[in-house]
Structure 1
Amino acid sequence: MNKGPNTMLAHLPSSAPDLVVDGRPDTTPDVIDGVAYARLYGEPLFRMPTDLYIPPDALEVFLEAFEGPLDLLLYLIRKQNFNILDIPMAQVTKQYLQYVDQIRLHNLELAAEYLLMAAMLIEIKSRMLLPVRKADTGEEAGDPRAELVRRLLEYEQMKLASQQIDALPQLGRDYVRTQIYIEQNTVTRWPEVDIVDLQAAWADLIKRAKLTAHHMISREELSVREHMTSILRRLQSTKFVEFADLFDPTRGVPVIVVNFVALLELAKETLIEITQAEPFAPIYVRLAYAPS
């Protein structure tokens, strides 16, 4: 809608000449019961302005609005129930050109796109009037309307899809998201721990502790002389002691090793005797015989 130039109206003096409406003088009184019948920009208005301008195209009503040449062409075909696969080009082109002529009177830039489609329709109609010629391969030429029909069908599918999407509820158009602030005091409530959860947490802790465990090697002070004394004291109370009875496996390998070394030292110093009756017979240990 076009708007005319803005007009600043001031308070008109009461001596202004009367207006002429339809060849007769305007008999509207300057003041109606002492009150202006209208206000313009805060100023009282006591008579119709003499320089009021309303452009001829101030109000235009479009019964149908189209989004492009294909939309207009599809509208003309569907409105008259034409078969889109067998379009009567003469009637459709005539109606199309009538609409384009109306557009050219108001908006030449908008009409350019429609004129391109009009030229395409005229070309198709001209090709249909020409005699059909066979191609070099011997096949008959296709229908000149085939490409136009393909474009119309694709456009119609896209238009229907857009209408279905537009029918879906949209935020800001069909509904408004509300936000309500509620001020309340909350008390922290800790969740209750079940015994099963506590057991699982403890098992997980033990599992992680085993993964980070270190093997510590401690050094134990063992004396060969002490073990030599212990062996001599035991042999003093008995004549023969079986070799295996001199060792205590429960005390560990280091003690057994030191005890064996002590036994060898005693044999080396001829303080004890290690005897065996026959091969593979038990080994016995006794004190060494000392002649008087």
Structure 2
Amino acid sequence: MEVFPYRVELDRFSGPMDLLLYLVRRNEVDLRHLPIARITSQFQEYIEVLQELDLGLVGDFVVMASTLIEIKSRMVLPEENEVEASADEPPISAGDPRSELIQQLLEYRRFKEAAVALETRADEWQERYPRLAGDRPTTAKDPTADRIKEVELWDLVSALSRILRRADVAPEGHIRYDETPISVYVEQIGNRVHAEGEVRFTSLFDSTTLRSKITGMFLAVLELLRHHSFRAQQDEDFGEIVIRPPLPVSDRL
């Protein structure tokens, strides 16, 4: 049986701007007072994880990281009429190197919030008004159009980063490499979640120290969330992520 290469395309539902907004929320800072040094350092940490996943979109993140580094370097240069402020969160001024990026982020956030609002209203409209037979789609739903909530995604990437930094996870060598198809991990993890009812994300990786296997299992989790209606939930911000099976069909209607 021919095995086709498997790839998870994150660019269908996320990108550098999404990651920046996530980091702003995670740091609980005002977007207009972007702490560029702190955000740049954290952004680079996420790039390291994305490179482990070998995703084609990493180039876009590298470009954004270069922009952040340039802004950071420009901010250490003294400017005339500079207002006294903390090094981490200086105020925005007309010549502030962050101003263009912040404006882009504000605009991006407005469009994103508008898109979410429209999607919510569309869901409410469909619940109020039943679809007529003539309104049914002529083609089946494309599962590749499914999206993972970006907070779920970046929290999962953050958790993966912590796993890869464990002392017992050794750098990959050319001799030891896991070539197990992602579909195998999808079946194994899916069966475990169904059997146990819920599984802590970190516990999935307790028995392996092989980086390529950890990466493959992580991509399998994304597959379960994106295409198989599994759920990733946190009881508190930045806490343990729990993977749960799909809701019954009756609860999803």
TM-score, with length taken from structure 1 = 0.35
Greater helix share, structure number? 2
TM-score, with length taken from structure 2 = 0.40
Specify which structure has the bigger relative contact order, considering alpha-carbon pairs within 8 angstroms and separated by 6 or more residues. 2
